[in-house]
Amino acid sequence: MRIAIYPGSFDPPTFGHLDIVKRATTLFDKVIVAVGNNTSKGGFLSVTEREEALRAATSGMATVEIASFNGLLVEYCRERGAEFIVRGLRAVTDFDTEFQMSITNRQLEPGIDTVLLMTKWEFGFISSTLVREVAQLGGDLTKFVPEEVLPVIQMVLKNRAR
């Protein structure tokens, strides 16, 4: 079984993230979308909220599992039996960072390969940072995030307004 892990912060999940997940399912038998739990960073959505949003957005994808992890990604890959890491690229500026991470992971665990997928051009401008800013300023998110993600973001904004 070819298992891949697609790690990220997914804070919040966007159409670009979902595009990478969908295309990864055509390449691998199982895709684990893994929310990194970085306790030193405060998030817009909690890890649990990100997982909830991702589960809702991928509910029709039978070979996708949503999870979270702490620590080194390659250690998590070993624990889950994954031999591949999937990463998305929006623009050429993403390549340098992804290249460095790929080489570092390869040094830590030579048996794990990184697969870089370009997002569709129409999602190349979308970032979670942009989505958070639009959300906090009350803008329309329907062009940036799957409809299943909207209720999670709206709930967070509502709770913060209290």
Q: What is the secondary structure of 105-162 as a DSSP string?
A: HHHH-TT-EEEEEEPPGGGTT--HHHHHHHHHTT---TTTS-TTTHHHHHHHHHHHH-
Three-state DSSP class for 50? helix
**What confidence score (pLDDT) does residue 94 get?**
86
Active site residues: 17, 41, 90, 128
Question: From residue 63, how far is each of 26, 49, 133, 158 by CA, in Å?
Answer: 10, 21, 32, 33
**H or E element, residue 104:** helix 92-108
- Which amino acid belongs to residue 20? I
Q: What is the pLDDT of residue 56?
A: 96
The pLDDT value recorded for residue 39 is 65
Tell me which residues of the chain have a pLDDT lower than 50: none
- Please identify, in words, the CATH class of the domain defined by 3-161: alpha beta
Task: Give residue 153's identity as a one-letter amino acid code.
Answer: I
What is the distance, to the nearest Å, from the Cα of residue 121 to the centroid of all Cα atoms in its chain? Answer: 18
Tokens of 36: 């990194």
Q: What is the pLDDT of residue 40?
A: 64
Domain ranges of the chain: 3-161
How far is the C-alpha of 101 from the C-alpha of 48, rounded, in Å? Answer: 25
**To 10 degrees, what angle do helices 73-80 and 92-108 make?**
60
Q: What is the C-alpha to C-alpha distance for residues 106 and 37, in angstroms, rounded to an integer?
A: 22
Interatomic CA distance for residues 92 and 116, integer angstroms: 12
